Structure 1
């Protein structure tokens, strides 16, 4: 039960930090936050047997796709936090350190590079986007921020249980 609680708090916290970065990068860098509705559309089409699209934006819209995308986004964040805690143990949450959180956060960039982007039509590691290098850099930065969020979420979880 403790593992689940720590995973929930850490994952939700980390995902919130990532979402705050998504909002801040618009005025700072002129980059819009991610559209989790497209993630929801992609996931909903999986239930219909379609896992890969030439362009997810061109795929038919799906009822509640934005909700599906946002729920999936937070569930994925919780799963990655559970992975961090599973590897480094409950001792990590009791005394969080930045290193393991950054390692896991940066490694999570494999999910969009190898699964989401190819499945949604952007190619492996955004290779089919207009500016692949910029897209890759933004993904890497966002997932590093998620790693910092894992640390912050772990710290929050540790203080709530002390």
Structure 2
């Protein structure tokens, strides 16, 4: 399997692992159920040229925003998987190790902190949230699950 196909598999597996982590936290009562409608609304408005909102919930609804949000979530995950597989190269793909993919997965949180969150009106790195440091820590744990999922997929292919 080439790096593109492996990267797609890694991205899907990583995103699914992130979703499993979120679902587990929800079932334990530790966080709300993930809701991808507001990121979908943000994406819909982004397509119309508006990047930043004071409060994405107050922005006009976008048709199919929940589906758009899920597509954004998995599309970004796949893009990250492909980017990592291509950058890591054949050597890493033949013998995947956790540390490089984990570091990459943690670095990917920057897009959420510095584009998606401020775009939705949540501030830089969620500064406008009630407990921003908790949200940041939970985001890093979710991205750790993403990296773990990507690594397991790469191991399965190798």
Question: Normalised by the shorter chain, which TM-score bucket?
Answer: over 0.9
Contact 1:10 1:156 in 2 (8 A): no
Q: Distance in 1 between matches of 2:30 and 2:37?
A: 20
Superposed CA RMSD? 1.4
Which residue in the other structure is 1:87 paired with? Answer: 87
Q: Distance in 2 between matches of 1:76 and 1:109?
A: 11
Q: Distance in 2 between matches of 1:99 and 1:76?
A: 21
SS at match of 2:28: helix
* Distance apart, 1:83 and its partner CA: 1.9
Could you state the TM-score of these two structures normalised by the residue count of structure 2? 0.94
Q: Distance in 2 between matches of 1:157 and 1:96?
A: 10
Q: Distance in 2 between matches of 1:81 and 1:108?
A: 11
Which residue in the other structure is 1:140 paired with? Answer: 140
**Structure 1: which 5+ residue stretches go unaligned?**
none
Q: Distance in 2 between matches of 1:90 and 1:75?
A: 23
**Structure 2: which 5+ residue stretches go unaligned?**
none
1:45 aligns with 2:45: yes
Q: Distance in 2 between matches of 1:33 and 1:77?
A: 19
Which residue in the other structure is 2:54 paired with? Answer: 54
1:17 aligns with 2:17: yes
Contact 2:3 2:85 in 1 (8 A): yes
1:5 aligns with 2:5: yes
Q: Distance in 2 between matches of 1:157 and 1:49?
A: 40
Could you state the TM-score of these two structures normalised by the residue count of structure 1? 0.92
Which residue in the other structure is 1:125 paired with? Answer: 125
